[in-house]
Amino acid sequence: MGVAGAGKTSLLGAMQRWLGLKGLDCVTVNLDPGAETLPYAPDYDIREWLSLRKVMEEYGLGPNGAQIAAADLLAMRVGGIRKILEAFRSPYILLDTPGQLELFAFRKASRLVVETLTGERSVLAFLLDPTLAKVPSGYISQLLLSATVQFRFSLPMMNILSKADLLSEGDIESITGWAEDSCRLQASAEEERTGAAVQFNIELFRALETVGAFRNFIRASATELAGIEDIYNAVQNHFAGGEDLTKD
């Protein structure tokens, strides 16, 4: 998950390619009824029976309203979708969620979809948009969203700095420093803002520290397949005690 344009679909396609190169089977699932093109061939595609344009026409809704209605329609059929996915008997299922985070993550129906399709052995990947992450306020805002999504779905989560190849080494160094040292992030945030906003930052940091939102991220690039192995290892460490299934 992540803000629109963070690169969720591209990263999922990269993960599929990487697993294939390692000889590991996976199932890819597109849950975005509004996706026009995909950089991967989904094993299950919601667009086969649910089109955002058709929902708009049938119910007289705009794009946002149609996404919300689509989530409700998806929830009504999620049990059947799970049976289809179970038939693949694959060790990995990659879910590609709709692009607009707020229209999916904060819907009751969407939580039902995720819980039904994933079960307990699941990890949420929250993608940090590189353009937003370059400035303290943008980075902090995404940490808030990440914490909110984890609260909504109650699943283990990893933060991924997406499209890292678009960032300069200086930007990456700054973002890495913020992730490793919350005091450094607070100092940078106070330099960016003045006046009453400083006190707001202090209270906000206390809240983020309390909920454990200050976590390191994985640096990834879908175009270069960089960081994909780190994502894989993070999942293995969580569920398989670090056992590497890519080894013979």
Q: Within this chain, do residues 112 and 158 fall inside the same structural domain, yes or no? A: no
Q: Within this chain, do residues 177 and 197 fall inside the same structural domain, yes or no? A: yes
The residue out of 95, 122, 149 marking a domain boundary is: 122
Residue-wise pLDDT tens digits, 219-242: 999 999 999 999 999 999 888 765
**Residue 229, domain extent:** 130-237
Residue-wise pLDDT tens digits, 96-144: 998 788 878 888 888 888 889 887 788 999 999 999 999 998 999 899 9
What tokens appear for 68 in the block? 């919300």
Predicted TM-score (pTM) of the model is 0.89
What's the sign of the alpha-carbon dihedral 35, 115, 140, 220?
negative
Q: Within this chain, do residues 144 and 213 fall inside the same structural domain, yes or no? A: yes
Mean pLDDT, to the nearest integer, of 159-166?
Answer: 95
DSSP assignment of 10-51 equals: HHHHHHHHHHHHTT---EEEE--TT-S--SS--SEEGGGT--
Residue 131's identity, in one-letter code, is: T
Q: Which residues contact 226 (CB under 8 A, 6 or more apart)?
A: 164, 165, 219, 220
Whole-angstrom distance, CA of residue 171 vs CA of residue 198: 23
Report how far apart, in Å, the C-alpha atoms of 33 and of each of 59, 65, 158 are. Answer: 15, 13, 25
Number of domains in the chain: 2
Q: Within this chain, do residues 153 and 198 fall inside the same structural domain, yes or no? A: yes
C-alpha 121, offset from chain centre: 16
**For position 171, what pLDDT does the model report?**
96
Q: Which residue has the tokens 């976590």?
A: 215
Question: What percent of the residues of the chain are helix, what percent strand, and what percent coil, each to the nearest 5?
Answer: 55, 10, 35
Look at residue 242 and tell me if it is in a domain.
no
Q: Within this chain, do residues 96 and 150 fall inside the same structural domain, yes or no? A: no
The residue out of 122, 145, 166 marking a domain boundary is: 122
